[in-house]
Amino acid sequence: MRNHIRIGRLNSLFHSPPGSPTDLFGRQYAQSMSIALSNPVVTENKGGAAGTIGSAEVKRSKPDGYTLLFGTISTHGLYTL
C-alpha cells in the first residue's frame, strides 16, 4: 500500500525553448513525477540568454523545494549566477 503525502504543486522550469531535447525529456520526466507523487507538476519554459534567464528565475524563487530546474551542463556548470 502506498503512503500518499500531500504536497504543494511542483513547478518545473526549462531553460530551453519548447520542442527542444531538454524540453521533451523534462516534460516526460515531469509527467512521470506527477504520476508517482499523485501531485500536479506544472511545466514552464523560460528560454533565452543561453539558459541564464530560466536559471536565474529558479534562483530567485522561494526556497521551498517546489521549483525544479531542468537544464544542461551549460546552465549548471558554466555560469555563476
CB 7 within 8 A of CB 37: yes
Record the pTM.
0.73
Say whether pLDDT at 1 is over 50: no
User: Could you tell me which CATH number the domain at 10-76 has?
Assistant: 3.40.190.150
Domain boundaries, the chain: 10-76
Grouping H, G, I as helix, E, B as strand and the rest as coil, residue 37 is: helix
pLDDT tens-digit map of 28-45: 999 999 999 888 999 999
Assign residue 49 a region: left if phi > 0, alpha if psi is -120 to 50, beta otherwise?
A: left
Cα–Cα nearest to 31, from 10, 15, 45, 2? 10
Kindly give, in sequence order, each residue whose CB lies less than 8 Å from that of residue 55, ignoring residues fewer than 6 positions away: 15, 69, 71, 75, 76, 79, 81
Q: Write down the pLDDT at residue 5.
A: 58
